[in-house]
Each structure stands twice: as C-alpha cells, then as structure tokens.
Chain A
C-alpha cells in the first residue's frame, strides 16, 4: 500500500479536480484545504493562468502585501506576457520594487486604471475600498482561512464566483476586542471567511491537497497526526531524500548535540531546567541564539531533491519562531550580540506561509506558569512546527507536560460554534511526546 503511493500522481489528480471544478463547475465557490507546503501558491498561480488563458479575467485577493507581491512575481515567472494589474495603497513603498522590472505588470492605486487586465491582484484591505466597478466573473481568495469573515463581507460583492484556498491548520484570524456577542452566528464577523462561507453554502465542493512538498518525511506524519487528524497528508519526499550534514564536528555542547540530533532525526528538543521565567526568558533566548550561531558556524549543507549538489545552510535559510513580539525582539538582540545577521526572527503570525531549511522555535509554553488560550492555540504551534524543509529545533524549559496537565482547556463552549479538532491542548501533548524522543538536556 505504502509503496504504491506516488505523491506526484496523487497531488496531480487533486489539482486536476480542482481546476476542473474551477473552470467547468457550476458552484459559486470552491474551497481547497491545503496542509503546510502542499503547493498552495503553485495552485493559485496555475488556476489564475488557466482562467486567464480561457479568456476569463479574474481578481485575486490575498491577505498581506508580501503575499500579493509574491503572487505577482510567480505569475510573471510562469508567463511574462500575461497582463497583470497590481492594485496598491497610497502609502509610501506600497509594493515590492522588483515589480517595477516587470514590463507586463501595471501598478495603480485605482481599480479603474487596471480595468481590462487579465489578472488584478491586491490585498483584501485594499479591495474593500473598491466601489462602483463591474463585478469580476472569477476571483481567487488566497489564505482564506486567515481572512476574517468581515473582510470577505467587504469584498464579496466584487466577484460572482470564487476559489477559496487556504490552510485550516494555521492561526485563526483574531479580533483585538471581544466578539463573544456574535459567537454562534453563521456570519460571526470574527470567524474565518471559510467558516462563514460554508455555513451559508454547505453544498460547495471542498477539495484537499494531499501532499506536502515542504515538510520532510520525518515531519509530515507528526504534523499530520497532531494537527490534521481527520484530513491526513503525506510528505512528497522519502526518508533518504533530504540530508543535513555539518562540516565541523560537534563540540559536545548542548546546542551542538541538539543540532546533530535534529540533522539526524528532523526534530530536536533542547530542554533547559524547569523554571518560571518572564516572557523574554534570558537563558532560553540566549540558547536559541547559540543554536543559530552554531548552525552557521558548523558549515551546514542541505541535500534535497531540488538539486544534485548540497546547498550551503546560510543565514537566509534559517528562521527563529516565537509566540510574542517581545520574544522575537529579544532573540534579535541576542543574535546581534553573537554577530549573526540576516536570520529571520518573527512571531508565528508573521511566519505563516514562509519556508526555511531549518527553524529554531522558542516553545510558546516555555517557562510559563499558566497555559492560556493564546499559548495553547493549535494554529500557533502548527505554524511554528511546519516551516522547515529539513529540521526543526525546539528550545523549551522542562515541565511543559505537567503545565498542560494542570491547565486542561476550560474555554466556554458556545452554542452553534463548531468545535475545532484537535484542540491546542491535545496537539501540544502530541508534539511534546514526539519531541521527547529527540531531547537533549542542557544547563546553560
């Protein structure tokens, strides 16, 4: 059974079905669930190109300017002739300067200037300001699970039919004020766009991309089991396809040992002694920085199916993920002290949709006396644990398992709200018990 699984063929079948529904289906909407690194962007680009080549102009709605620019660049890469419009805000530097080099990309702050182009792309926030135009026959909504229902409400009048693509396992959209008042309503404005869409249109076809091309064979089963228990996916590569080697041998320190463990197994847990700490736990932050420093110093080389030759593990292929912004700032400062630059350090929210060879994660519950809903959120851990192509190293204080047992989920159950499975509590336990097999104890 397992030997018969051909990831490329399975992914191809799924994509064909989606494109068939998009081009020839009769439903007003199509929803595509995509696990991390399953080729969501590739699908969006392909669907846009096929719609455009079928003579059907379309609008594309993404959530951030970075996502929009990325899509424009990918579209231009696939088809340099395609007339693309980039609708942008009137802020200074509203789009990536690289777009200026693309002759077929027209940029404007007014939708009217872009009328008639095959593809017009912008953020949901900018689209919401577009009024009084003829609705597009087609739209593609990217990262639809990270889009809030009220954002969809503001733009849904601009299109007749739409393809909604997104990852249900990542962070849910959030509101900075309470919205319990509307919990249970089908159009709760703080819910995700897909939740509202499906509540009102349950008959819409739902597709799923079955293969993650990003996650290595060591990571896909864990991420699939812990975060997508009812919609499992596979890794597109086998166990031998990805290798991480270091030129410099281990010096026996904690950071070096955990790096070797992660290079071997794909996962590594650097466990510091149990302690309650402030959010910016100085020891844990320093440990994260040291791991990154050693990753760079030891001359890593990553072999993957992408190229015959191993690629050097450089700073831009490494990321550090945290739960809070102040933690990210503290890690950045610690890295600067060790002379490390160009390593991406950010919160889970901002790492969504990005991909690296190796990630170093400061566990959201490390050193905490309590486990709040924020820190337990399934999507947060899922984002942090699914950004890597080769290995993920988690830095954490001991005692998180006990902390979890002391804080079972006690969120009030709201009538009419679909309970999400798995809950963060369970997902955290699943990840921790797997990480425990790759634990390196270290007292800094």
Chain B
C-alpha cells in the first residue's frame, strides 16, 4: 500500500467515512452494463444456485436451480443465462466503425495499414466482488468445451445449444479482466476500493455491503458502525440483513432455509413421479410448483440486496467524472471484444484449456505493459494520484523560476534550454535522470542537470529540455516552459513501448518444449502415479 493510501485509511478511521483516493473515475462505465449477481451451492464447486442478471436495475431476471445437484436443471440454468448474456453481447457485435490496424503483409513482410472493423461500443459485465469474477471464469471453463446434441448426437447429457458459446464469452471476459485497467468485466468492490479508502482492511473491503457503508454511510451514522452492522446484523430468523455478495452464501441461510426448502422440493418431485393417476399428479404438481416457488423466493431474497447494492455502487462511481485516459483504455477493450467476435465468427475453436508457451508469454508481456500504462495514465489524469507519486519521489511539481536558452554541441546546434523549477517535493533525481512533462497530451523529455540553492533556501531543480521543440534552431512557440509556469514532471515514462515480437507458436524453440501438439479435444485424465496407490 502506498504512503498516501495509508494516510487516507488513517483519515477514514478518524473521520468515520471513506476518503477519496481519486478525483476522477479511472474505469470506463458503459451506459448499459450487464449486472450479474450469481450464487453457488455450498460444497458443490461450480454448481450454480441462482442469479440476478440484467441491464435494468428495476427489472432483473431471476434465475434459480431448485436442485443444484441435478445436471439437467443446471443446464437449464446455463441455457437461461445464455439467453440473457448472448443477446446482450450481440447488440454490441453489429454496430461497428471503421478503424485502421497495422499488420504485416504476408508477401512483402512490411508493416502496412489495413482497414478493419472496430465495434463502436462493447458489452460490460459488472460482478459484485472478486470471487464473482472467479466464478465467471469457472463457468466459462466448465461450459466452453461442452458438446451440444447437434455436435455429438450420440453422447448422453448434451448441452443446450448456446451454452458452449456462453462459455467462450465468459472465458473471454474472465481473461480480459486480468489485464490491468480493462473494464470489460469489473468486480465492483475492486473498482470502489480503487476510488475510496476505507478504515478497514482490504480483505474486509471485499464485502460490498461493508464497503458501501464506509463510502456512503446512512445519515448521521459513522462508516465503521454501519460497516459492522452490514457484516453482522441478523434478523429475527437469524438471517443476515445484508447477505454476502456471493457467490458463496451464508451458512445460516443454507442450513436453516435453503436445505429444508430443497428437501421439500425433492420430496415433491419424488411424489409426483410416483403419482398413480392424473388427478393425483395434478395435485402433486401443484406441490412441486409451490416448492419451486419457495426456492425462487429464497434466492431472490438473498440476491436482491446485493443487486441493489451493485447499482448503488455504480451510482456512486458515476458521481466522479471519467478520467481522460479511461476512454483510451476502453478502446482497447473494444478491440479485445471485436477480436473475440471475429474469432467466433470465423469458426475458431474455443480457447484452449492451457495457454501454450508463446501465448502465455504474450499475455504476460501485454499485461505488464498495460500495468505500466495504467499507472502512468492514472497519475496524469488525476492530481490526487499524482500527489501519491510525488510523495514517494517519482514526480515533482513546481513553478518555473528561470529559463536560459542553450544549445547542443553539434554541427547543427539544437535548442537545449535550461529550466529552473522551484519545488517542495523531493524527487529521487540522480545524474542525468530523465523526467517527462505532458505537453499537449504528448510527453516532453528533460534531463536533470543539478540542484541550486535559492535565496530562500528551498530546492531549485535545474532541467535541460531535450525534445519536442521542432526541427529548427529556434524552438517552436509554446514548446519551452516560461517563467511562472506551473509544471509537473514525472520520473516515469508516460507512454509504453511495444515489446519485441515473439516467435509464432509453431516455432516454439527447443528450450520451451518445441511447438505445441494438437490440443486434446477431450480432457485426458491425469496419469496414474505411485501416490495414487497408497
């Protein structure tokens, strides 16, 4: 945790309210995000119990599985989920704009500009918490390789037609969420704690109710007390008033309400199957429907508070104006969305179970680059974030007190003006350290020359501007700071260079096991080892 975040947390404890960590919103929010509040069944990894999903805060679609251990019911749930998610995704797939991308021409090997489609906007999935994002990945992993009846008519338990496609999209959302600064899939607790510091630990911040209580406590209450209530308060039946944001449920709910309800459902189903005549079956069907309705009500009861909390959190985020570079990062998300749309349209197979060596290395390189980009962009967009960087000596701000024109020593001397900046910050400047300032959105570089003592005794930093002054002997107007200018220089670069191109997967070198073989269509069981025979 950075020093400034620690200070903000201390202030939050003292004041009883969350303190801002940002003055702008650092993630793009679309006009119509799809909110997804899933629940799982305790003890059954990956068995969904129910969900609220939708784009309309007043009319969520409730999905539930009356018997989560029943594979057919589970598939029915996934099919219903696909009916909500896929049409939502499709609405963004068709609206496109023209864009340019540089590609390597296969014939000449030169980089050329190619006109391609870029989706004008992209879908956005909002999950209440980080655990929910993991659940999305799990759903993606468990469904994208399923075979439908059309693909394999003979196999038992075929998946409903659109479920594998849902799995591919969920996998894409889950993978994209690992890219720093991306906004295709957001965990609300993460986004909120990026923008506000509470007086509790970051582990406790994963509780959406408690986090919101700190950020926006009820009138007259302290955030700490409200958060405690959100975590612990139970009603007369022993149920949490603010249920966990999922996907795991509260054990008291499981034991006291859910388990008996599922048992009633099971009994009703067995009874229906044993019905001897139509009249009896009608009666028993009524019982079964009642049992189903009861489970439905239970699921709604524990998802609805989270659903409302998610929308409240989004409202809070929307009170902040969007950071300038967030749109730039959203464009990358749109590229990512467009790319996956194209892969699906082209009939490519689902994402493999494991990345090959080249894909893994490419992903890691991209994410590292995006992380560096995000760190720089957030600081440039937001004075409060920049203050944190200044505090740790990675940037400094101050007033220009002197500008002396100087030239480089070469045949064609170029301008190398010396700029003196008075600052109270204490940047970690070493000999010829490069520093950057934003000049019309582009970084201008300067070199640290030395410190000077001013008459008042505060620090004066002397810099030599080295670029962005045009080609002539005289610098272009506006490209050199003037006396009295208030400037902010960073020690980190503003833009990221692309890394070297890795070999194609078919050319994976011997050090990395050579080219990958054909991926298994059906997952192979692990080989039996000695440890299996204890």
Q: Which of A170-178, A205-213, A295-303, A403-411 lies at the interface?
A: A170-178
Nearest residue (CB) in B for A29 is B511
CB <8 Å contact, A128 and B500 = yes
Q: Mark B234-274, 1 if CB is under 8 A from A, else 0.
A: 00000000000000000000000000000000000000000
A193 and B355 CA atoms in complex are apart in Å by: 18
Contacts of B363 in A (CB 8 A): 189
**Cα–Cα, bound, A193→B509 (Å):** 13
**Known contacts being A175-B364, A329-B393, is A201 close to B511, with CB within 8 Å?**
yes
Q: Which residues of B in the span 336-388 have a Cβ within 8 Å of any Cβ on A?
A: 354-358, 360-361, 363-365, 367-368, 371-372
A187 with B513, Cβ < 8 A, contacts A153-B361, A329-B428 known: yes
What is the minimal beta-carbon distance from A382 to any residue of chain B, in angstroms?
A: 25
CB-contact partner of A176 in B3, B368, B512, B514, under 8 A: B368
Known: A157-B503, A177-B368, A187-B357. A325 touches B510 (CB 8 A): no
List of A residues within 8 angstroms of B372 by Cβ = 176
Residues of A with C-beta under 8 A to B356: 187
The one of A154, A178, A181, A325 in contact with B428, judged by C-beta atoms closer than 8 angstroms, is A325
Known A326-B428, A329-B393; contact A156-B512, beta-carbon cutoff 8 A: yes
- Are A196 and B511 interface neighbours, CB within 8 A? yes
Contact (Cβ within 8 A) B357 A153: yes
- From known contacts A156-B509, A177-B180, infer whether A128 and B499 are also in contact, taking CB-CB under 8 Å: yes
Q: How far is the CA of A181 from the CA of B366 in the complex (A)?
A: 14
Contact A156 B510 (CB under 8 A): yes
Complex CA–CA separation, A185 to B510 (angstroms): 16
Q: How far is the CB of B181 from chain A (nearest CB, A)?
A: 11
Q: Does B512 lie within 8 Å of A181, measured CB to CB?
A: no
The verdict on B55 contacting chain A, using a C-beta distance below 8 Å, is no
Does the CB pair A157–B507 fall under 8 Å? yes
Q: Select from chain B the residue with minimum beta-carbon distance to A161.
A: B510
B492-534: CB near A (< 8 Å → 1, else 0) gives: 0000000111110001111111100000000000000000000
Asked if B393 and A326 sit within 8 Å, CB to CB, the answer is yes
Q: A200-B510, A201-B511 are in contact. Are A149 and B361 (CB under 8 A)?
A: yes
**Which one of B178, B355, B508 contacts A153 once the chains associate, using CB atoms below 8 Å?**
B508
Which A175-222 residues sit within 8 Å CB-CB of chain B?
175-179, 181-182, 185-190, 193, 196-197, 200-201
- Is B120 an interface residue when CB atoms closer than 8 A count as contact? no
Chain A 126-154, CB within 8 Å of chain B: the 1/0 string? 00110100000000000000000110111
B392 on the A face (CB < 8 A): yes
Given contacts A181-B178, A326-B393, contact A188 B513 (CB under 8 A): no
Q: Counting CB contacts under 8 A, is A28 at the interface?
A: yes
Interface size on A, residues (CB 8 A): 36
Query: Which chain B positions have C-beta within 8 A of A189?
Result: 357, 360-361, 363-365
Complexed CA–CA distance, A329 and B393 (Å): 9
Q: How far is the CB of A14 from chain B (nearest CB, A)?
A: 24
Cα distance A250–B360 when bound, in Å?
Answer: 58
Q: Hey, which chain B residues are within 8 Å of A441, CB to CB?
A: none
Are A153 and B428 touching (Cβ within 8 A)?
no
Q: Which residues of A contact B503 (CB under 8 A)?
A: 153-154, 157
How far does the alpha carbon of A175 sit from the alpha carbon of B512 in the complex, in Å? 19
Nearest CB of chain A from residue B468's CB, rounded to whole Å: 15
Among B361, B499, B507, which residue has the most Cβ atoms of chain A within 10 A? B361
Q: Which residues of A contact B367 (CB under 8 A)?
A: 177
| A430 beta carbon closer than 8 Å to chain B | no
* Cβ-defined contact, B502 with A154, below 8 A: yes
Kindly state the separation between the CA atoms of A177 and B503 in the bound complex, as whole angstroms: 22
Q: Kindly state whether residue A125 has any CB partner on chain B within 8 Å.
A: yes
Which has the most chain A C-beta neighbours within 10 Å: B428, B500, B501? B500
B389 CB, min distance to chain A CBs, angstroms: 12
Inter-chain CA distance A63–B278, complex, in Å, is 80
A52 to B367, CA, bound (A): 40
Min distance, Cβ A29 to any Cβ of chain B, angstroms: 7
Q: Given A179-B364, A187-B357, A125 and B500 touching (CB < 8 A)?
A: yes
Q: Which residue from chain A places its CB closest to the CB of B512 in the assembled complex?
A: A187
- Shortest distance in angstroms between A190's beta carbon and chain B's nearest beta carbon? 6
B510 and A131 form a contact (CB under 8 A)? no
Q: How far is the CB of B173 from chain A (nearest CB, A)?
A: 15
Known: A128-B499, A128-B500, A187-B357. A200 touches B364 (CB 8 A): no
Distance, CA A186 to CA B357, complexed state (A) = 9
Contacts of A175 in B (CB 8 A): 364, 368
* Cβ proximity bits A36-71 to B, threshold 8 Å, 1 near / 0 not: 000000000000000000000000000000000000
Shortest Cβ gap from A104 to chain B (Å): 28
Residue pair B501, A131 in contact (C-beta under 8 Å): yes
Contact digits for B96-135, partner A, Cβ 8 Å, 1 yes 0 no: 0000000000000000000000000000000000000000
Q: Please state if A153 and B500 are interface contacts (CB–CB under 8 Å).
A: no
Asked if A190 and B364 make an inter-chain contact with CB atoms under 8 angstroms apart, the answer reads yes
Contact check: which of A129, A176, A182 meets B360 at CB < 8 Å? A182
Residues of the B chain whose Cβ atoms lie less than 8 Å from the Cβ of A181 = 178, 355, 360
A153 to B503 CA separation, bound complex (whole angstroms): 8
A residues near B361, Cβ cutoff 8 Å = 149-150, 153-154, 187, 189
Taking CB atoms, residues of chain B closer than 8 Å to A128 are 499-500
A177 to B180, CA, bound (A): 8
A125 neighbours in B (Cβ, 8 Å): 500
Residues of B within 8 A of A186 (CB): 513
B513:A200 contact, CB within 8 angstroms: yes
Query: By the criterion CB–CB under 8 Å, are A156 and B511 in contact?
Result: yes
In the complex, which residues of chain A have a beta carbon less than 8 angstroms from the beta carbon of B514? 200
Judge whether B371 and A176 touch: CB under 8 Å.
yes
Question: Quick check: B354 and A185 within 8 Å, CB to CB?
Answer: yes
CA distance A150 to B360 in the complex (A): 8
Chain A: which residue is nearest B502 at the CB level? A154
Kindly list chain A residues whose C-beta atoms are within 8 Å of the C-beta of B500: 125, 128-129, 154
Query: How far is it, in angstroms, between the C-alpha of A356 and the C-alpha of B511 when the chains are bound?
Result: 35
A177 to B366, CA, bound (A): 10
A177 with B499: in contact, given A156-B510, A187-B512, A201-B511 (CB under 8 Å)?
no
Collect the chain B residues with CB atoms within 8 Å of residue A197's CB.
Answer: 511
How many Å from the CB of B523 to the closest CB on chain A? 16
Specify the chain A residue showing the minimal Cβ separation from B507: A157
**B371 contacts A177, C-beta separation under 8 Å:** yes
Return chain A residues, CB-CB under 8 Å to B355.
181-182, 185
Question: Complex: how many Å from CA A189 to CA B426?
Answer: 37
Q: Which residues of B contact A278 (CB under 8 A)?
A: 3
A-B contact pairs, 20 of them (CB 8 A): A152-B512, A154-B500, A175-B364, A175-B368, A176-B368, A177-B180, A179-B364, A181-B355, A185-B360, A187-B356, A187-B361, A187-B513, A189-B357, A189-B360, A190-B364, A197-B511, A200-B514, A201-B510, A325-B428, A329-B428
| Top 9 A-B pairs, shortest CB-CB distance | A128-B500, A156-B509, A150-B361, A187-B357, A189-B361, A200-B513, A156-B511, A329-B428, A177-B367
If A187-B513, A189-B365, A326-B392 are given as contacts, then 20 extra A-B residue pairs at C-beta distance below 8 Å, sorted by A number, are A28-B510, A149-B361, A150-B360, A153-B511, A154-B361, A156-B510, A156-B512, A157-B503, A177-B371, A181-B360, A189-B360, A189-B364, A190-B364, A200-B510, A200-B513, A201-B511, A278-B3, A325-B428, A326-B393, A329-B428
